[in-house]
Amino acid sequence: MTSSGRRVHDERGAVVTVWTAVIATTMVLVLAIAVDLSGLVRAKQAAGDAAAQAARQAGQQLSTGTLFESGRLEVRTREAKTAAVDYLQAVGMTGSASVEDGTNLVVTARADYEPLFLSSIGVGPIQVTATSTVRILRVQNGTER
C-alpha cells in the first residue's frame, strides 16, 4: 500500500514468466518431435529388416529339380510370394512380393507408426514402407553360372 491508501501492483517478473512459459512450451514441442521422429526411424528400420528377412525366406523357394536336370535355377514363384507374405504377417506387417526376370525377388514391407506425442495434435498414424531385393544366383568355383 502507498501512503494514499491505494494498493500498488508489483509487476516485476511478469515478462520473465511469459518468456519462461514460451521457452518451456517450445522445448517440450521440440522434445516431442525428436522422440516421434526417432520412433519413425526405428519403424522404418524394422520394416527394412522385415523386408530383407522375407526376401531371404522367399529366396529359399527354389526348384531343385530343374537345377539338377538342366543346371538352371528356377524360383517357385507362388511359393516364394507366399513365404514372403507369410513372414511379413508373422512379424505384424503387411506387404507384397514379386518375382522379376525369374531370379529377382522383390519384397515390400509396410507398417504403421503411431506417434507418441504428435498423435495428440492429430498427426498419425504414419505408414512406413521398405523394399528389399534378392537375386538368386548359381555360382560354381567363383563364377556365376
In three-state form (DSSP H/G/I as H, E/B as E, the rest C), the secondary structure along the chain is: CCCCCCCCCCCCCHHHHHHHHHHHHHHHHHHHHHHHHHHHHHHHHHHHHHHHHHHHHHHCCECHHHHHHHCCCCECHHHHHHHHHHHHHHCCCEEEEEEECCCEEEEEEEEEECCCCHHHHCCCCEEEEEEEEEECCCEECCEEC
In a domain, 3, yes or no: no
In a domain, 1, yes or no: no
Supply the range of the domain harboring residue 20.
14-144
* pTM exceeds 0.85 for this model: no
In a domain, 6, yes or no: no
In a domain, 8, yes or no: no
User: 113-136, pLDDT tens digit by residue?
Assistant: 999 988 888 887 999 999 999 988
User: 67-104, pLDDT tens digit by residue?
Assistant: 666 666 777 889 999 999 999 999 999 999 998 887 78
In the chain, the number of structural domains is: 1
In a domain, 131, yes or no: yes
In a domain, 5, yes or no: no
